[in-house]
Amino acid sequence: MPLLLVAVACGEQPSPERSSDGGASTATQHAPPVWQVDFRSVGPVRIGMSVAEASVALGEALEVPPPDESFCQWSDVRPSKSPPGVWLTVSQDTIVRIDVDSAGLPTVDGLQVGSTIEDILQKYDTLIERDGSLGGEAKFTLSSREPERAFLIIFRTDGARVIRITSGRRLAAQVEECA
């Protein structure tokens, strides 16, 4: 772990994956959470946590409404102890997706709501896939690096700037509308 501390101290940009298992090191678990988005987490909340585990990590009891009646059967929760703009998507008592719709909460690579399309392309160049959203605006999808590419970070734009960042399991992150 000293190498990670040296890399951060030297100003190198960390990759969107904080560690091989996607979590913070044991040495940093007692420090206040760093609120950044990566493929598998935001702050102390990790994709795959139960609602109870996420509640403990956040220091608040998450109140999950009943699942919507759409095909997805999901519930969205906005934690009160997170920075503004954080939404957690819950499926069968498990956190499956993270959405951020307000500026001030960056990815581990420094992009956030309000970043430009040019910022995305400069940061990721050929690593990111450009596609259109259901509304026709550009969206950019970054896949995790493990062989299954099971996790995504999606930058949804208004055609010029990022308006939402979505992170999570591939199938959950890709959904734009659930009917």
Question: Residue 47: is its pLDDT beyond 80?
Answer: yes
Output the average pLDDT for the chain. 82
Distance CA 63, CA 130 (A): 35
Of 109, 126, 91, 122, nearest to 165 by C-alpha is: 109
Asked if 103 contacts 165 with a C-beta cutoff of 8 angstroms, the reply is no
pTM of the prediction?
0.78
Of 115, 120, 111, nearest to 14 by C-alpha is: 111
Of 14, 16, 12, nearest to 153 by C-alpha is: 16
Give residue 139's identity as a one-letter amino acid code: K
Question: pLDDT tens across 143-164, in order?
Answer: 998 877 899 999 999 999 999 9
Of 126, 113, 122, 125, nearest to 154 by C-alpha is: 113
pLDDT at position 103 is 97
Q: Where are the domains of the chain?
A: 117-174
